[in-house]
Amino acid sequence: MADLYARLDEERARAKQRHREALRAPIDAQDGGTLVHRDAEVRAMTQRIQRLDVADDGLCFGRLDTETGERRYIGRLGLFDDEDSYEPLLLDWRAAAARAFYVATAASPEGMRRRRQFHTRGRQIVDFTDELLGRPDAEEATGDAALLAAVNAPRGEGMRDIVATIQAEQDEIIRLDHPGVLVIEGGPGTGKTVVALHRVAYLLYTQRERMERHGVLVVGPNPAFLDHVSRVLPSLGESNVVFMTPGDLVPGLRVTAEDGPEAARHKGSRKILGVLAAAIADHQRVPVEPLPIELADVDVRIDAETAQWAIEEARASELPHNEARAVFIDVVTWVLTERAIARIGRGWLTRDDKAAWEHLRAELLDELDEHAGFAAALDQLWPTLTPQSLLAQLYTSQERLRAAGADPSLFRADGEAWTVSDVPLLDELVDLLGRGKEAEAAERAAEAERREEAAYAAGVLDLMIDREDLMDDEDHLIAQDLIGAEDLADRFTERDHRELAERAAADRDWTYRHVVVDEAQELSEMDWRVLMRRCPGRSFTVVGDLAQRRSAAGATSWGAMLDPYVAGRWEYRPLSVNYRTPAEIMAVAATVLADFAPTVRPPESVRATGVPPWSRQVRDDDEMVAAVEAFVAEEAGREGTSVVIGPADVPGAVAPADIKGLEFDAVLVVEPERILADGPRGAAELYVALTRATQRLGVLHRDPLPEALAGLVRG
């Protein structure tokens, strides 16, 4: 182990040296290519240093002994003895040669004789377990010891990687060579989320050049979930990953409200596309009465016939609404100028005098271009629209909703109280409306500003490096300038490192090479349209459990959501083993599952704790508060994490929807009868709540327990 860490330190020192050399490399001010080359080298070495730093913790966690006597060490990254021979000292866990560490069994040893798993603290081995392969009757420690130690360990603040304890069924999914959409379905505790994240790490390892430039998007149900899983990929040395909730997919939008089930169902259906198209068409109008336009020498009018012709021409262009406005204006302008010329030139001007005719038209066009009344008329008949303005006007008007054929449940008093269900509609409207000339100009100005800032930062960095070279005889000044240069370089490269995430988050048109969708059963048909736009290559890892669906617009089958986009290009892989929930708790949750999803088989737990889940009935609010406080105080004295789950009006309780995908050592479920009362969605939420615990589960209730929980031990 000491030799491996020594080699790691050498690699890190070499990467830092190359980083410094890249920063000091001479730059031709007239040659942008040399600056690009230097920045690419700086960025590459920065990422290399980050990966090497991550490997300090648990660098080597396993060893394989082959039947021929060879030893292979398995770790977080690959290390080689030197740059010339390139002999492997440590195999990256994702390498093909390391796969036997995860899939070899006594019955199928994959050419291996022994598997050893190391338990380390810092850079020291404190223990190890051996599994003899190829001899099922051998009386040696089994590979389950490391797995059980991991699943029994107290939970920390975030999800941990499972790189040392990946199981065979998980490894098969992680390494699956499938270019399209992979659906991973599993019940609570099956590790589907962490498997998906390890699959991302594997894809970045095997397809780094293709994937790293555009990055990977991970979509999760809420910020707490994303915070919980955000440490996994960095712990594996991967950082070009963008984390978002479905509400973040429209840049700059702030979700402040929640739709009722009926509104969410209508907004999530692809049928809403017809409503959006009709709502746009409702803003393309003919005047009830002709609109007068008073020019300097003549008065003209925009009548219904002219407006209708212009509308038909604009729609026939098949351009988005805001871009088709130019066609509408061209037709209206042509009609008005033709009429004006004919009146002004009556008696002296004919079409045969083309020069005079066109000269007069040019003067009229200039006048119309600055005419406030004409601009107001155009805005009345074919206004420039934004997604937000269109939806807000639609939601707050019963008349517009009826005209668009929308369901009345979409009506609301505050049109701009945006919900998660509005996000895919707003995103769709970006394409249906188009950006318009003003938005394009603003984007060009913002891009120019970003380029100027980047050039300024690079120039400052060059200046500081030049100053350092001029002060070689003054050691203390060299040290000060070196620190300053490296600090600025760090800030610059960090900014570059964050740029992908920053630019992706701010750019609605950013596309990713791969997208992970967690809790995918909650996404609607319209949500999937957004995600497919974000990944034109249709490379997805989809994670979910149909039995846990709570959204009225969510998936009832994977094919219903995916076949419109990737028919024949998606594969399904189930996970059936529960690594999180003890058998005692899973038995209770399985009873709830059987009531609302009788055809779904619950995952089988790998362990039992001997601690039965309990229930206690309280009489009033005071007793409920006291019982919750007692639970919190008791768990505060224990190692690990805990949570209270229940209705929003219970002090200190977290809603089931807010803890999806999370896990805790101890869970207290409050008033399950109220959670269950919310119909099919309530049953799914109670199932979620009951399956968050890794060690201990308690239930507090006022009314009689639901029948499915009647078997709980009275506490």
Task: Tell whether residue 190 is among the known ligand binding residues.
Answer: yes
| Alpha carbons 179 and 540: distance in angstroms, whole number | 8
Task: Tell whether residue 188 is among the known ligand binding residues.
Answer: yes
Residues 6 or more apart in contact with residue 692 via CB below 8 angstroms: 188, 643, 645, 659, 662, 663, 664, 667
Exposure string over 348-374, b if 16+ CB within 10 A, otherwise e: eeeeeeeeebeebbebbeebbeebeeb
Q: Taking phi first (over 0 means left), then psi (-120 to 50 degrees means alpha), and beta for anything else, what does residue 189 get?
A: left
Q: Cβ atoms within 10 A of the Cβ of 699, count?
A: 27
Local structure of residue 155 (DSSP, 8 states): P
Q: 532-539: list long-range contacts, CB under 8 Å, 24+ apart.
A: 532/565, 533/427, 534/217, 534/249, 534/510, 535/217, 535/511, 536/511, 537/513, 538/180, 538/181, 538/565, 538/566, 538/569, 539/179, 539/180, 539/181, 539/513, 539/514, 539/515
Name the pairing type of β-strands 71-75 and 60-66: antiparallel
| Alpha carbons 365 and 337: distance in angstroms, whole number | 7
Alpha helices in 507-598 (DSSP H): 525-534, 558-566, 583-596
If you count them, how many residues does the chain have?
715
Task: Tell whether residue 186 is among the known ligand binding residues.
Answer: yes
| Alpha carbons 498 and 375: distance in angstroms, whole number | 43
Q: Cβ atoms within 10 A of the Cβ of 44, count?
A: 14
Q: What is the 3-state secondary structure (H, E, C) of 78-95?
A: CEECCCCCCCEEEEECCC
Residue in the block written with tokens 């941990």: 160
Question: If we measure between CA atoms, which residue out of 660, 516, 575, 635 comes closest to residue 221?
Answer: 660
Which whole-number Å values give the CA distances from 452 to 260, 444, 688, in the listed order?
Answer: 46, 12, 50
Say which amino acid occupies 381: L
Helix (H, G, I), strand (E, B), or coil: what is residue 703?
coil
Task: Tell whether residue 192 is among the known ligand binding residues.
Answer: yes
Range list of β-strands (E), 267-342? 291-294, 299-302
Cβ–Cβ < 8 Å for 91, 72: yes
Task: Tell whether residue 661 is among the known ligand binding residues.
Answer: no
Cβ–Cβ < 8 Å for 295, 367: yes
Residues 6 or more apart in contact with residue 431 via CB below 8 angstroms: 320
Cβ–Cβ < 8 Å for 73, 60: yes
Tokens of 209: 């050049």
Task: Tell whether residue 437 is among the known ligand binding residues.
Answer: no
Annotated binding site: 186-193
Annotated binding site for ATP: 186-193
